[in-house]
Structure 1
């Protein structure tokens, strides 16, 4: 799929008299340098309305700079940037109420309750007080509305940060590592909040280092390396295009590496502390042979994931192991 080709999305439709709405974001050959460093190097992509779009990449890949350009916080050196049909630079104050931004270091009025904090945010955006209640409910914090912000748990504060970005009901939401530093249960709980936002037709641009999260939530992802987009497509298509190889994990001690290599259909064998890892394009045949040799109890199958795609791309381009 071309990076600039929008996918079909309910949010991309409009009435017959109005015609289609402009895409949420359009970037065309965007560049940004800091001295001799190419932070963003010729990025072109389109995010249609209603899409949950993931921006992935290692530290220093250019994600933050690119998002700040979209938000109007930084000016691109060259190329064109369109957000909700208009240019975000020079700083466009009329565009700001249409955007919601959650950062990793969100600022709170910590001595206020969660409800008071959101009412203050609503007042700043000149929306009604009821917006605070709607934002609380949207992230599952209604019961914590009267709890002071500094008494909320880490997961609850992350939800409040998202609610702060939603209180004025923006058209486009930027979420920067919204599940960072959360325990597994809190992270899964927040997933449902994000799914609800997607279900409500919000356009979301989302950065994360959790590849399983991006695979589960995003309609499409762009993987950035050294300021450029190395891959852009749906997680499923990226995985399917990457490798058809299946890995079979056989518990250590069940068979030797030489026995595994002798099995017809096995392409490679590596030894891990607790298992032999057999790579194959013919998993059915190899599983039948393992069953005859050692039985299938405890044998696990591992297919490719978005993490495999990510590590292949970033490792090949950055020299990482």
Structure 2
């Protein structure tokens, strides 16, 4: 379970204090897939970075499985996987296999465990043909597959994806969507931000909408459709932004 209680994050910019997110309250059940929607600059990435322990909230608290994220970050890092859009976090001079082995050490995985897991993920994502090639020459789709493999390498309970299909071709994007479905069957809790409404409709049971740092909706898709008397998520999203509530 993920609990976000009264979280606010301030940034200072040119002698001004700006609230990137304001008073966010969210509860997400274990095994739930949640779509995080908002315009660019709405606060989605800031919220995900706080959940990943990269940023600390200015106010409020966050919990994963009852553990305070920012008071016990070392306990949390072993239980979460994170992939931010456009930031694969891979080393160009290393092969895909070497990259995965490098990150496995941070998760305390043994060499034997790493070898088995890397082979398993290479087969799962169709990476066997380029597993021992340097990442520097990879296409965006190939890099993204390795980055996703890195994200779930240690079999985390909670997975955070920030616009993971942006820039991917159709085949790679469909591979990611099938991955989400399989991770759900494994009982993983997943939050991912996306600008692709069809993707959110297809994969998510619930939605969080953020506008100018404030949460304007949290609940199930069905509840949202009922409230808005529409099943057109793109229309609903734009309408909520205009209304701001």
Range class of TM-score, shorter chain: 0.7 to 0.9
Moved more, 232-241 or 41-50: 232-241
Residue aligned with 2:74, SS: coil
CA 1:82 to 1:139, structure 2 compared with 1: closer, same or farther past 3 Å? Answer: same
**Cα pair 2:9 2:58 within 8 Å, conserved:** yes
Kindly state the Cα deviation for residue 91 of structure 1 after the two structures are TM-superposed.
5.9
Alignment partner of 2:66 out of 64, 85, 88: 85
Cα shift readout 1:274-304 (whole Å, capped 9, x = no counterpart): xxxxxxxxxxxxxxxxxxxxxxxxxxxxxx4
**Cα pair 2:21 2:43 within 8 Å, conserved:** yes
Cα shift readout 1:32-71 (whole Å, capped 9, x = no counterpart): 2224322111111111111111111011211111112212
Alignment partner of 1:190 out of 176, 179, 191: 176
Cα shift readout 1:192-236 (whole Å, capped 9, x = no counterpart): 122212222111111111111111111211011121111112223
**Cα pair 2:104 2:153 within 8 Å, conserved:** yes
Alignment partner of 1:145 out of 112, 131, 137: 131
Alignment partner of 2:93 out of 98, 111, 124: 111
Equivalent pairs counted in the alignment come to 236
Residue of structure 2 equivalent to 1:253: none
Alignment partner of 2:44 out of 63, 70, 79: 63
Cα shift readout 1:95-121 (whole Å, capped 9, x = no counterpart): 211111111212212222222221222
Matched, 1:45 2:26: yes
Q: TM-score normalized by structure 1?
A: 0.68
Structure ranking higher in helix proportion: 2
Unaligned runs of 5+ in 1: 1-22, 245-303
Structure number with greater Rg is 1
**Cα pair 2:48 2:162 within 8 Å, conserved:** no
Distance between the aligned counterparts of 2:40 and 2:72, measured in 1? 26
Residue of structure 1 equivalent to 2:237: 310
The CA RMSD measured in Å over matched residues stands at: 2.0
Q: Within 5 A, what are the aligned runs for 1:217-296?
A: 217-244=203-230
Residue aligned with 2:73, SS: coil
Moved more, 219-228 or 113-122: 113-122
**Cα pair 2:10 2:17 within 8 Å, conserved:** yes
Unaligned runs of 5+ in 2: none
Residue of structure 2 equivalent to 1:214: 200
Distance between the aligned counterparts of 2:103 and 2:58, measured in 1? 33
Residue of structure 1 equivalent to 2:82: 101
Q: TM-score normalized by structure 2?
A: 0.88
